[in-house]
Structure 1
């Protein structure tokens, strides 16, 4: 079967090794840089490996991106000519759904106002708005975005979804017609960004997008920081055009101490943890892709980094 090399600065290699061996007991799991004989290596499971990482592995058959987003691979000129796939992990999906649901409910139930009232020691009543009157737009309906939109609809929100290609999601009004873009943006109470980072989406959410929103619309970004024009978002938050924002991702991470977001009362910050890959569930995906490639087939969730998806 050959060996698999694991690389990540953020994940526990022991947890991954145990999970992979539970699915494929015969798999030889090696943790970078202790790769042994590189000619033994048939598979790589990695997140943001350094430049030149793949060069020693002449017998590579499969690369698995340790996550759902592929922007860490786009633009690289050292990728091997082998199938490359991403993970689609139920645990990761559940975490993303929970994060966005929390962020949306926090605004829908006026929690920032109650948090401020508590600091003032003030009993501050706000009559709740029925959830089906709160219009939530999900921008990007890929694997994670579709799950987020579906989860919000199940909570009872009026959910609208936008994607570049037509999508059908139960309980969600979906739009892909570019002529309806402005109408989609202008009819929301909360906008959630789930767009992947590609050459075409970098800076997509800019001053024009914020200007098209109804004044006071809330914004949630749980995708990638570079999809958003940060100076434009700061200006929109300062003017009140965007009423508040929940931000899990940023152009530069960690967020620098002098960044304006830290000083803004209407910005809720989390340190890029909306979703993580869960080894015990994701390892099943990796094992199945290995089996398929060994059988001469294509892996699960194959991606094409040069095309950006």
Structure 2
């Protein structure tokens, strides 16, 4: 019974050390050193091999090494094989840090002061209270909830939107098509943390931007497929949106010469908002393996009918 890791080999080496300490009875291998393919029972991967069913006929669980599974081709994954996305504290903390940085930079006019510094301009602008800046989050999963809790601690009026009804202390929660319209109308800083599904692909488009207050800021830390790029460029050009912070794009990386590289109203980062931390990721996997062996539901088990 073997655990196989197929992702960044440097992180895999850390996984090997940690699993040897926490679950020494489970042999661990790093791709492409798969050993006996019939012995592979558990696979952790960012992108599993295309011939998954035939290469590992005895596979019992497929773990995603990331918080999402939209990079998986579910048509190539056996329907009965459990797929588990990564839910671990390192991913959550990293995302909270990144979004907080982006929100506060916008709230405190950081880019304005950077531009003034380059121009040699010493000019103070009024400091607005957090209570005057309304934050809205698309997606109320583990990451969305953690992000909202931190923003609420600064005093920002916070709201969230999800497909189904949710409740979160101190947050105005909305759901469904009518709820989305209500969320957008009261949001100055919009944060996308949705899973990428057929229903959310292209959701960040002109129709959505037109429902935001003029000059709003977009922060996309979901997936590049959520954004219609031409619509964003148009919204920035007309002033419908004031700024955008993009940690994800489609494709990644963007091709040379793409307008986002040099756009004065776009902050672009290379998909680094949050990364799986080996120490906490291994703890999450070990806990799920124990739950699996005890017949308990695993944390992060994907519902394929929903796509997350």
Check whether TM > 0.5.
yes
Which residue in 1 is equivalent to 2:212?
A: 213
Which residue in 2 is equivalent to 1:254?
A: 253
- Superposition map of 1:274-289 within 5 A: 274-289=273-288
Partner-residue secondary structure (3-state), 1:12? helix
Are residues 305 and 8 of structure 1, via their aligned partners in 2, closer, same or farther at CA, if it must alter by over 3 Å? farther
Are residues 10 and 249 of structure 1, via their aligned partners in 2, closer, same or farther at CA, if it must alter by over 3 Å? farther
Residue 177 of structure 1 deviates from its aligned partner by 4.5
**1:177-236 deviations in Å (ceiling 9; x for gaps):** 532432321222111111110011000111100111111101100110101111111111
Looking at structure 2, the residues matched to 22 and 170 of structure 1 have their Cα atoms a distance apart, in angstroms, of 39
Alignment check: 8 A CA contact 2:161 2:179 kept? no
Once the two structures are overlaid, the 10-residue window that deviates more, 200-209 or 181-190, is 181-190
Q: 5+ unaligned residues in a row in structure 2: which ranges? A: none
Is the aligned partner of 1:128 residue 2:127?
A: yes
Are residues 78 and 223 of structure 1, via their aligned partners in 2, closer, same or farther at CA, if it must alter by over 3 Å? same
Q: 5+ unaligned residues in a row in structure 1: which ranges? A: none
Residue 150 of structure 1 deviates from its aligned partner by 1.2
Partner-residue secondary structure (3-state), 2:55? coil
Residue 10 of structure 1 deviates from its aligned partner by 7.2
Which residue in 2 is equivalent to 1:59?
A: 58
Looking at structure 2, the residues matched to 272 and 53 of structure 1 have their Cα atoms a distance apart, in angstroms, of 27
Residue 73 of structure 1 deviates from its aligned partner by 2.1
Query: Aligned pairs, how many?
Result: 308
By relative contact order (CA 8 Å, sep 6+), the higher-ranking structure is 1
Looking at structure 2, the residues matched to 206 and 308 of structure 1 have their Cα atoms a distance apart, in angstroms, of 21
Looking at structure 1, the residues matched to 296 and 138 of structure 2 have their Cα atoms a distance apart, in angstroms, of 33
Looking at structure 1, the residues matched to 287 and 29 of structure 2 have their Cα atoms a distance apart, in angstroms, of 19
Residue 293 of structure 1 deviates from its aligned partner by 2.1
Looking at structure 1, the residues matched to 91 and 179 of structure 2 have their Cα atoms a distance apart, in angstroms, of 31
Once the two structures are overlaid, the 10-residue window that deviates more, 240-249 or 50-59, is 50-59
- Superposition map of 1:183-198 within 5 A: 183-198=182-197
Runs of 4+ displaced beyond 4 Å: none
Residue 11 of structure 1 deviates from its aligned partner by 5.6
- Superposition map of 1:160-199 within 5 A: 160-199=159-198
Looking at structure 2, the residues matched to 87 and 114 of structure 1 have their Cα atoms a distance apart, in angstroms, of 38
Residue 112 of structure 1 deviates from its aligned partner by 0.7
Looking at structure 2, the residues matched to 180 and 96 of structure 1 have their Cα atoms a distance apart, in angstroms, of 25
Alignment check: 8 A CA contact 2:135 2:188 kept? yes
Q: CA RMSD in A?
A: 1.6
Looking at structure 1, the residues matched to 303 and 182 of structure 2 have their Cα atoms a distance apart, in angstroms, of 32
TM-score, structure 1 normalization: 0.95
TM-score, structure 2 normalization: 0.95
Alignment check: 8 A CA contact 1:83 1:298 kept? no
**1:34-89 deviations in Å (ceiling 9; x for gaps):** 11111111111111123114422122111111111121225432336222211111
Alignment check: 8 A CA contact 1:193 1:222 kept? yes
